[in-house]
Amino acid sequence: MSLTSACACRWTLLLCAMRLAWPQSARAEVVYSGRQDIAIPANFDGVYLNVVTRQRSTSEFSGWDLNAFFGGLGIANSPGLQPVRAGTGNEDPIVPLAFGSSINGSLTMAADYGCSGAEDDSGHLGPGASQFTDGQAAYFGFQLARDNTVTYGWMQVTLTRDGSTGVIQDWAYDTSGSAILTGATGDVGDAPRVVQAGVPQAASAVTAGSAVLVSKDAQFTFLENTSQGCFSGIISGGGSVNVSGAGGMRWSGTNTFTGTAAVLAGSSLTVTSKDNLGAAPIQLNPAAALVFDSLASNNGAANTFSNPVTITADTATLRNTGDGTVVLTGTLTKDGAVLAFASGNFEVLGAILGGSANSDLLVDGATVSLLTSNTYNGPTFICNGGTLLVSNTSGSGTGTGTVTVNSGATLGGTGGRIGGDVMQAGTLAPGLAAIGKLTVGGALNLASGSTFAYEMNSSTQGGDLLVVEGTGGVSIASHSELTLSDLGSGKFAAGTTLSLIQYAGSYSGFFTYEGNELSNGEVFSDGKDNHWTIHYNASSGGDNFVTPLAGSHFIALRLTAIPEVGGLLGLACLLGSGVFFRTRPRKTALPTPLPSLSGHRRIVE
């Protein structure tokens, strides 16, 4: 069927179009579809769309507004939606509109059913200035009628005529009946700024205008050299936006621009919810910071950010200054650069990438949960009271480098795997507030003053397990403290065995408990009527996590519960049975000291 016949066919369709009224209680506002990316099939049926309900189908339905077909070579419309045309005829070509132009009743439109398109250059696709370019995104304007209410809107499309699929990207309309600017996704106020490609613009938050519309390939910079600027207007369009200056910026509007949001060197950008960033990719330059002033009341969707983040060089910072938990689902790329989490709570579901050496991860006072496999090539440092929880389900949660835990910091997690060695001067806590297993792919070095925080549950007869897979085994320095916490309210059965650490290779050294050294085979009380015997080279696992691990050299460090006995009689029984004994193997050399962070690249304060 030719396009001329197709348009004629559209004219003869007998449709009972639904007349959809605006909700009478709703205030006038700009309604934005969000990114839809609806395919326009390269066939006669195409796709039918109702712009109000967002219903779409490749089959005709009652109430459709627009029918794009043959990849967009042809566009039909119902009486309720009138596109801006080159003339008032119902078959006059639809014309593209410049980004930021005003759509109102003064523009040329037709009435009733219409169809635009031609197989040659006489239609809306062609080489002319007032035509759509094949395969390139562009806008057209429309008038929308519902129950005697007229509104104006725009639609962004990519139309084709080479047999490939076209796309309806998104659209918006203003229910007040006022004019709308092409590309505007919200109320732009009285003084919007339109930034066109080829002419970069810069302004402070005060002088930027009531909104900023940045066209594709255009660039706008917020410049605040001293104090922080605050911008509550919308930022929309396909262009990029920079934040520059030591003062930094706070965005509080619902922003939809799709170009890069770049925080330039030494500056910062503060947001409260995901709507402030939209879907923009984030670029953090040296000493730049992205600050989340999160709210606990926003936990969930509003605190979940899908934006990919790239650290360009040196060190850049993610900081959560609020009381909410920030969830990051986009990729975090730091190829040869340092990504620092500086404060607050984060859950990281997006992969942390970085193939070059020194692609470090720094947890500096923040609480960070790594919930996926990460491949960054660099060490991980936890310092200044920070907590890193590794709970990935496959691969390594910490990439390929060594994890160093400084004094006062904590490393924990449930079900996760740490890819490299662990140099521990702080607290090591498998599970952390819940019974769990944590795996170390390399060796474990517990420095003097470190703490191994072991949790067990007398109600379930279970306990944590740390698995050390590296052939370097476990090295325990003098004054490395073991702590025990019972999360349950029951009593352990006599003879219960709990494996603390299962490891390959060798071990050296002994824990202390409440300041007293625990040598191999020593019996001690946990203060809850449980006496435990500690074995550093047991040949079999305990009652927790009974599934054996691969490798013939795995042995278990375990605690064995024995019945509480009283007085000298009980002690004599223990001695007589041979259960109470103290053997002190020759102590090996202490592990080497942990590396210091004193020379490490610092984050933005």
pLDDT digits (tens, 9 = 90+) for 173-215: 999 999 999 999 999 999 999 999 999 999 999 999 999 999 9
Distance of CA 176 to CAs 34, 43, 102, 180, 364, Å?
19, 36, 15, 10, 49
**Which whole number is the average pLDDT over 113-128?**
95
Q: What is the pLDDT of residue 547?
A: 60
Beta carbons within 10 angstroms of residue 410's beta carbon: 20
Residues 6 or more apart whose Cβ sits within 8 Å of residue 234: 184, 185, 186, 187, 188, 211, 212, 253, 254, 255, 256
Q: Which residues of 27-45 are buried (b: 16+ CB within 10 A; e: fewer)?
A: eeebbbbeeeebebbbeee
Q: What is the pLDDT of residue 592?
A: 39
- What torsion, rounded to 10 degrees, do the Cα atoms 421, 426, 429, 433 define? -150
Q: What is the pLDDT of residue 118?
A: 92
Q: 466-478, pLDDT tens digit by residue?
A: 999 998 999 999 9
**pLDDT above 90 (res 4):** no
Q: What is the pLDDT of residue 546?
A: 63
Question: Where do the DSSP E strands lie in 125-260?
Answer: 137-146, 149-158, 166-174, 180-181, 192-195, 201-203, 211-214, 219-223, 229-231, 235-236, 240-244, 249-251
The torsion angles phi and psi of 296, rounded to 5 degrees, stand at: -60, -30
Is pLDDT larger for residue 496 or for residue 179?
179
Report residue 28's pLDDT band, with 50, 70 and 90 as the boundaries.
low
Q: What is the pLDDT of residue 530?
A: 82
Mean per-residue pLDDT of the chain:
87
Q: 289-346, pLDDT tens digit by residue?
A: 999 999 999 999 999 999 999 999 999 999 999 999 999 999 999 999 999 999 999 9
Instruction: Name which of 24-38, 366-380, 434-448, 519-533 the model is least confident about.
Output: 24-38
d(CA 227, CA 536): 58
**Whole-number percent of the chain with pLDDT over 90:** 75
Closest CA relative to residue 123, chosen from 172, 89, 148, 98: 89
**Which whole number is the average pLDDT over 506-519?**
93
d(CA 401, CA 398): 7
Beta carbons within 10 angstroms of residue 311's beta carbon: 26
Distance of CA 304 to CAs 121, 329, 421, 524, Å?
47, 7, 31, 47
